Structure 1
Amino acid sequence: YPPPTMTDWNTVPGMIQALNHLITGRQLSACRSHPTETHVGLRSMPSGLFTGSLRRSRGIALSAPDFTMQRGRPTSDRRRFLRNAMIAAGLPLFVSFLPGRAEARGSPPEDSGPSDDAAFRISLPGTYRGYSQGIADGFLRSSRYVAVRDGTRMALDIYRPTLGGHFTGEPLPLVAMSTGYRRAWIMSDRESPLVRRKWPGRQAGDFASQAVRAARLPDLRTATWPEEAQHLAPAQLADWLLDNGSVCEYLLMHGYNIAIIDTRGTGASFGSATGPSALQIGQDLDDLFEWFAARPWCDGNIGMIGASWHGAVQHMALSYGARRLKAVMPQMTPIDQYLGLWPGGIYNIGLMRDWFELRAGQDGIAELSALPVDADQDGKLLRAAMSARRPAEGTSGEPTATREGIERQNAIMAGLTRDRFQLGQGLLDVSFGDGTRGNIAQAPLDFARANLGQTAVYSWNGWWDIYAREGPMAHANLTTPRKLLMGPWNHGNYWDTSEALRWFDYWLKGIDNGIMEEPEVVFATAQPGGRPLWRHSETFPPPGVRDVHLALTTDGLMTAGVAPPRALVSFETDDSATSGPGARAWGFSLGPQLDYSALEDAAGKGLVFESAPLGEALDICGYPALRLRLSSSSNHARVFAFLHDLAPDGRAHCIAEGWFDYRFRKPGIAPYDTLGTAWYSFAASDMLPVVPGETMLATIDFTPIAWLAPAGHRLQLILTGADRDNAYQAPAEAPPVLTILCGGEEGSALQLPVPPQSGAPPIIEGAFAALPEASAVGVVAG
């Protein structure tokens, strides 16, 4: 079908056409419940994978993106149409397949909003309706200090839903978020670009909060809505917020209390300047959950939500403060902070430079401070909390708000091995709450402690996130009730609103919406220029995935089958090579899509290898890896590897990447299941010298990916010895010449995880039906 026009929307055939385009982005027959291409794979290997002539290219031909990303969410009219289209044409889709749950015994009234009427219910990943009723049309905020077990005062905001200006009366569940980025504040003209981007429309002097996007609080207490939402009934307001509000506002309207906490030592909370340990933060939250549960407006059912820092704190609570915690939804977050900040043993200065500047400003500049609590009208307690944790100039605590202080801090951080980092984070010889002592293997998620409880965990991550490797590993190593979702997202463009409600409805309200009857893993197979294909599996990588080996050759090719003759190829490291400030490494400061266009120039400062054109679509699903055997002309060797899908017109999507410092090449025994990826300790005791001229072998694991490369496309591998904007480079290091061993039995090779054709994970029709275009893929074509 051609794309429907606006005039087609009110006709049933037009709805059928539009539903197919909106839900799947592909052409479907209205009378089929599944697309014809339910899976893709390899028909034969190695001979059937690549066809056509081989060519060598030293770079990427860049042109305009093949699609336009729009910021924001779909309009209410478009979402309303989608619901009507589901009723008119799409319900057979939802009834006839699993996972998920759909019940249809008639059409709901126009614009009826969420309803508990079983006549119209849909429960699918990212698509949820009819199980949960909007009950509120506003909310009230209050703030206060609560002291934890050691007497430290923690600042927190409490948001409670209201109807007609009055509290709903009955006790409700509570969803908490603990932040290091200020629970609430007054916007300043000195805010960072990140803050201005995340809170668009907020001007200097406006109230801002981690919980609030759509509402304004001119009195710092009462929610007021924009004009178009001021007179909406609860059901319609909830629907409007799905398009325009935050996940916390959406939960509030559905009958949840929300608490936003300044983590110890941040915002208006008191605490040490050196930073609290994971154990301390977990214990703080344990105490606060007990306090919440004792409030008459809380029914004792408590969950947590949030991404990045907000997700890491959930892992700490899961490990050390889960007595009252029933369900968490950690998003875009690490399980092992060392691997997150030192991928492959290389310090991610691109991320940390901006992060330190953000944090130092919020704790060191009065205009950027958190709001004081209600009882601290003159801000005296806020100033005392900030003063107590401000380090002296040049100390090793939090850096000062100067570029020089930040660079000194980064220079110190860059040289840390895992054992030194663990010592500095208070992870060694720890006294636990049960009286035992020991080391914490990794933070923020301690599997041994987390698995002692039964807190339900819904791990969220994205293929282009800085912590992409760790979401599947969190799921694989937890034994509590669990789910995993891997989306086509980076650190800033995920979309969670309706799925959060579905998760907490089940665990905190006891609504039987079927979410735990589905397979444990949901993931998006991204593809160039199209909507993602949502799939399900019991594990990630899915069962039956096998590695396809592509040998590197000295003439810049990647070949399957018989290994080419043994040979060497060299390049001189160029310290100006970079993947650019728009790449994954910059993490939280990014826009909706990553931008790797800087690799066009970097390709000429390293080595480029390309496959032949694909003879058929290639489904890559798992952790790619590069077994790279090389030598260095110097006493150091670092490699940055980038895997591209290269279209016939030269446009490229960077789909995975890996960094590695060859001093850490000694293999180790992993303390948890690493899903078949290599494990290196990154400890000082396991470091091996890089001897000039000596051949070394390491497996460089890439970030995981589920990607459908179309027939006719090529795979491209770019290797450089530096990433100027993102990886720390010691000033005294001279650029080495790196020599790669190609061909023969021991030659370097790319390993691609490919699912079997007959057992490819099935597609979930209707999942994330209203996913905004800006959240459909995490990287832009270059």
Structure 2
Amino acid sequence: MLTALLAIATATAGTPTAATASERVSRPGEYAGYAPVLYDEWVRTSQYLPTRDGTWLAVDLYRPAVDGKAVDRPFPVIWEHQLSRASRAPDGSVSLRGVTSGMAELTKYGYTLAYVDRRGNGASFGTMTGYHSRTEAADAYDVTEWLAAQSWSDGQVGVFGCSNTGDAAMQAATVGAPHLKAVFAGNYSFHKYDAFQRGGIRANWGAGPARTREEDLRNLPVDADSDGALLRRAVEEHQANTSLRDMWRAAPYRDSHVASVGTRPWREYSVATYKEAIERSGVPVYSFDGWDDDFRKESLVSAATLTNPHKVLVGPWPHCGSEGFDIVAEQHRFFDHWLKGIDNGIMQEPPVHYYTGSSHGTGQWRDAAQWPPNPRARQTRYYLGGAASGAVGSVNDGTLTRYGPPHRRGGGDAYTVDYSVSCPEPVGLAQTCPQDEKGLTYTTAPLKADVELTGHPEVSLHLSSSAPDGNVFAYLSDVAPDGTVRILTDGRLRLALRSTQRAPYDVLGTPWHRGDARDAEPMPAGRAERVDFDMLPLSSVVSAGHRLRVTITGADVRESNRTEVSPAPVYTVHREPARASSITLPVVR
């Protein structure tokens, strides 16, 4: 059926024909003409592969095929370290990760795709101890080298993933596997504490997977396990998996040691801990994220820290989203360059490709040589001023102005922490809904011209509290003339961990809170303390006629393990000449 096409493709792989050369396109999210279509079929098989300690891991292989049979020639291999490579829903429908991710399409261009269940998950044996442990990293080495050694592999191996599998992809780069040639990772945490426990405050996600036996048994067995006996044995081993929720509860500080896993999890499970090993590998990394994702700073910090060849993509997306952008095409051109040696120009482009949104929901893509895209942004300080009220059911704004610190002495806004924050729908890893009626608000006059904010806002409060500890949250919003509020970004900090230190990696000039147990210091009763923290990065144009608003609260709907004090603490945000409170915004001129 494909004999003629295959003959041409085999002779010209990596070199487009004259007919396609004039139609070549290679730019972010678009790719055509550089890689000829070789096949129009793939076949899926599954089996177990061994690791160094004898644990069997389940793998799905998607291979190019002709007339229903896998092509007997070696290709580059791209793989993902999954939690469930293939499963069956309660209604009986089957979900195949290779299909749902869209990556099986790359078989038509001469790639083999592999999806491997991490130990303690899917149909794999073993137990999951912690979250991205060094045992899993060692498994990634074994998987990479096993894939490279197969007869259908040409030894060029890439790894990809998003969210927990994006973390796993980055972990694969920490172990020095000789045949790992490229990493494409999205929405991952460079340092887990900074991402999961941002500001010392535990988020309400990252506690899974936590599946029942019944749910676990819906994972598909490998081909040779026709009666599911091996799957049932594997599922029994999974019952000893670490409870991630309990583990994180036992680790309130960056240096916490957790007895159940025998380690300091924030350190052992973080990519940042192994940055030197990643740099020694020299493996190129492509990081992507979205402006509506709680991890978005992590990819930028990773790119700024690592000396590896690096590309960064940030779009107008939620966690692991890519709507309107062909992320599979982007992965294709990245892997074509690094695994097949195709000169498609991807590494000659500016390393940062990002989207700038607007008040009206429109926007444009931009390129930059670095992040933040200096020198276009000027850090501009806006001061919190005037009287503000936190009365439930009303918004009585204070002022937000960039014309110097306040002159009146004795200014300050008292606020009783309101724990009743809520949203109509769960927010997960996305931005929360506005909580203006549950906190203190400070708002500018209507803007006289459009204002672009691209970079990292920073909050500096002089704050006193009636309690020795608590959480403070700050939100930056775009307020439309009709009163509609759109949150642009947010920041948060546990007050006892307010001291700042020098980070061991590049945090892009933002305040960094180490968060070790030794750093915990109670708030002195009635005394104003300086509290500095950054907000997550953004890139957005706020339209003329709109206003900017800063909202300060003591609770957030995304908190996990919140400690509610009774009576609720009273915070005072000071705004005097010597104790001014402010926000610094990255204003692009």
Normalised to the residue count of structure 2, the TM-score between the two structures is: 0.89
Structure 2 equivalent of residue 365 of structure 1: 214
Structure 1 equivalent of residue 230 of structure 2: 381
SS in 1 for 2:561: coil
Whether 1:183 and 2:85 are equivalent positions in the alignment is yes
Percent identity, aligned pairs only? 34
Give the deviation of 1:428 after TM superposition.
5.4
SS in 2 for 1:461: strand
Aligned mate of 2:418, from 559, 574, 577: 574
Whether 1:538 and 2:369 are equivalent positions in the alignment is yes
Whether 1:259 and 2:114 are equivalent positions in the alignment is yes
Q: How far apart, in 2, do the equivalents of 1:447 and 1:426 lie?
A: 22
Give the deviation of 1:421 after TM superposition.
5.6
What are the superposed Cα offsets for residues 633-686 of structure 1, whole Å, 9 maximum, x if unpaired?
112231111111111122222110111111101111211111011111111111
Aligned mate of 1:550, from 351, 360, 382: 382
The one-letter amino acid of 1:572's match is: T
Q: Where do 1:544-693 residues align within 5 Å? A: 544=375, 545-555=377-387, 556-565=398-407, 566=409, 567-578=411-422, 581-583=425-427, 586-587=428-429, 596-597=432-433, 599=434, 602-693=435-526
The one-letter amino acid of 1:493's match is: G
The one-letter amino acid of 2:95's match is: A
Give the deviation of 1:365 after TM superposition.
2.2
Structure 1 equivalent of residue 255 of structure 2: 419
Structure 1 equivalent of residue 99 of structure 2: 212
The one-letter amino acid of 1:212's match is: V
Structure 1 equivalent of residue 71 of structure 2: 168
Whether 1:470 and 2:314 are equivalent positions in the alignment is no
Structure 2 equivalent of residue 130 of structure 1: 33
Aligned mate of 1:517, from 348, 352, 358: 348
Give the deviation of 1:117 after TM superposition.
1.9
Structure 1 equivalent of residue 310 of structure 2: 482
Give the deviation of 1:422 after TM superposition.
7.3
Aligned mate of 1:325, from 139, 157, 180: 180
Q: How far apart, in 1, do the equivalents of 2:357 and 2:423 lie?
A: 21
Give the deviation of 1:493 after TM superposition.
2.2
Give the deviation of 1:273 after TM superposition.
4.8
Question: Which blocks of at least 5 consecutive residues in structure 2 are unaligned?
Answer: 1-15, 388-397
The one-letter amino acid of 1:208's match is: S
Give the deviation of 1:138 after TM superposition.
2.2
Shift in CA distance, 150/116, structure 1 to aligned 2, threshold 3 Å: farther
* Native 8 Å contact 1:283 1:321 kept in 2: no
Q: How far apart, in 1, do the equivalents of 2:18 and 2:115 lie?
A: 28
Aligned mate of 2:242, from 394, 397, 422: 397
Q: Where do 1:425-444 residues align within 5 Å? A: 442-443=270-271
* Native 8 Å contact 1:316 1:445 kept in 2: no
Q: How far apart, in 2, do the equivalents of 1:492 and 1:468 lie?
A: 11
Q: How far apart, in 2, do the equivalents of 1:130 and 1:387 lie?
A: 49
* Native 8 Å contact 2:176 2:277 kept in 1: no
Give the deviation of 1:754 after TM superposition.
2.3
Q: Which moved more, 1:539-548 or 1:470-479?
A: 539-548
The one-letter amino acid of 2:256's match is: R
Shift in CA distance, 117/346, structure 1 to aligned 2, threshold 3 Å: same
* Native 8 Å contact 2:469 2:495 kept in 1: yes
Q: How far apart, in 1, do the equivalents of 2:413 and 2:453 lie?
A: 27
Q: Which moved more, 1:151-160 or 1:204-213?
A: 204-213
SS in 1 for 2:143: helix
What are the superposed Cα offsets for residues 527-546 of structure 1, whole Å, 9 maximum, x if unpaired?
13343311111110012232
Q: How far apart, in 1, do the equivalents of 2:239 and 2:155 lie?
A: 36
SS in 2 for 1:660: strand
SS in 1 for 2:177: coil
* Native 8 Å contact 2:446 2:547 kept in 1: yes
* Native 8 Å contact 1:315 1:445 kept in 2: no
The one-letter amino acid of 1:263's match is: R
What are the superposed Cα offsets for residues 577-630 of structure 1, whole Å, 9 maximum, x if unpaired?
2356443xx12xxxxxx5744x2xx31221011111112111111111111110
Shift in CA distance, 724/542, structure 1 to aligned 2, threshold 3 Å: closer
* Native 8 Å contact 2:457 2:583 kept in 1: yes
Give the deviation of 1:720 after TM superposition.
1.0
Normalised to the residue count of structure 1, the TM-score between the two structures is: 0.68
Shift in CA distance, 445/524, structure 1 to aligned 2, threshold 3 Å: farther
Shift in CA distance, 275/604, structure 1 to aligned 2, threshold 3 Å: closer
Give the deviation of 1:726 after TM superposition.
3.5
Higher strand share: 2
Structure 1 equivalent of residue 391 of structure 2: none
What are the superposed Cα offsets for residues 54-103 of structure 1, whole Å, 9 maximum, x if unpaired?
xxxxxxxxxxxxxxxxxxxxxxxxxxxxxxxxxxxxxxxxxxxxxxxxxx
Q: How far apart, in 2, do the equivalents of 1:114 and 1:370 lie?
A: 43
Relative contact order: is structure 1 or structure 2 higher (C-alpha 8 Å, sep ≥ 6)?
Answer: 1
What are the superposed Cα offsets for residues 712-736 of structure 1, whole Å, 9 maximum, x if unpaired?
2111111111124534322555410
Aligned residue pairs: how many?
Answer: 558
Shift in CA distance, 282/731, structure 1 to aligned 2, threshold 3 Å: same
* Native 8 Å contact 1:347 1:414 kept in 2: no
Structure 1 equivalent of residue 3 of structure 2: none
Give the deviation of 1:364 after TM superposition.
2.8
